[in-house]
Amino acid sequence: MLTRTVGRRLSWPLERLAALLSRTGIPPNVITWSALVLNLWAAVMFAAGRFRAGAGLMILAGLGDLLDGPVARRQGRVSLFGGFLESILDRYADLMLFLGLLVYYVSVNRFLYAVLAGIAMAGAVMVSYAKARAESLVPAGDVGFWDRPERLVLMIIGGLANRMPLVLWILAIGANVTVIHRIYHTWTQTKDSSPDAGPLGSTRPASLGEARPVPNLMTRTAGRGR
């Protein structure tokens, strides 16, 4: 997937930059919140029709998303809450970016693209939710292509090239196809399961919204790739 490819290519420069930042003592949560602020600014630029400026701010925000984890590890501040916070703020960032596009297309009376922005926004949220719920039932629920890194890269390209309508068509369809793919994948993995069985290794069903037992992963990468 794109997440792994980018991670391999940028591993060395990101670690060097993370080393520099970690020496300043800046808390990793500050980097996480800064990325959200940059995405909010990008959403404002999108709402104003300044797609290239918005895309540039998204690049800076994406850099923050990639750095908060390595900085946390180098400072010894890795925590489960840090990963949880990052996941929540990532969802807000996604919603703000699509909302900015929706506001712009409403303001210029392009209602078809406003509807596409709304559909793409719903798909982006449901891609993440489908993965989270699937992983409470099956070992892996990250099938499909349109995870968060792929969506953001496409939006950045669309903004820089001023081709956002095409991006909205792709995301409105692609993200929701990924949701359907994850529904089907989860169904195939669970259709022969006992109705009394809950998450993998559990003896009771998981209620709607119940969190999966926390794995032994003390990293700040929760939510990455969703």
**pLDDT at position 78:** 85
**pLDDT at position 7:** 58
Radius of gyration of the chain (CA): 18
Distance CA 163, CA 22 (A): 37
Instruction: Assign a CATH topology to domain 26-187.
Output: Four Helix Bundle (Hemerythrin (Met), subunit A) (1.20.120)
Distance CA 135, CA 226 (A): 12
Structure tokens at 145: 């292509």
Is a pLDDT exceeding 50 seen at residue 195?
A: yes
Q: Which of 100, 86, 126, 91 is nearest to 40 (CA)?
A: 100
- Mean pLDDT confidence for 111-116: 96
Is a pLDDT exceeding 60 seen at residue 205?
A: no
- Tens of pLDDT, residues 133-158: 888 888 876 787 888 889 999 999 99
Distance CA 73, CA 94 (A): 25
Contact call for residues 190 and 138 (beta carbons, < 8 A): yes
Domain ranges of the chain: 26-187
Helices (H), 76-163: 80-107, 111-134, 148-161
What average pLDDT is seen over the chain?
Answer: 83
**pLDDT at position 75:** 86
Those residues whose C-beta lies under 8 Å from the C-beta of residue 89, and which sit 6 or more positions away, are: 32, 33, 35, 36
**pLDDT at position 215:** 41
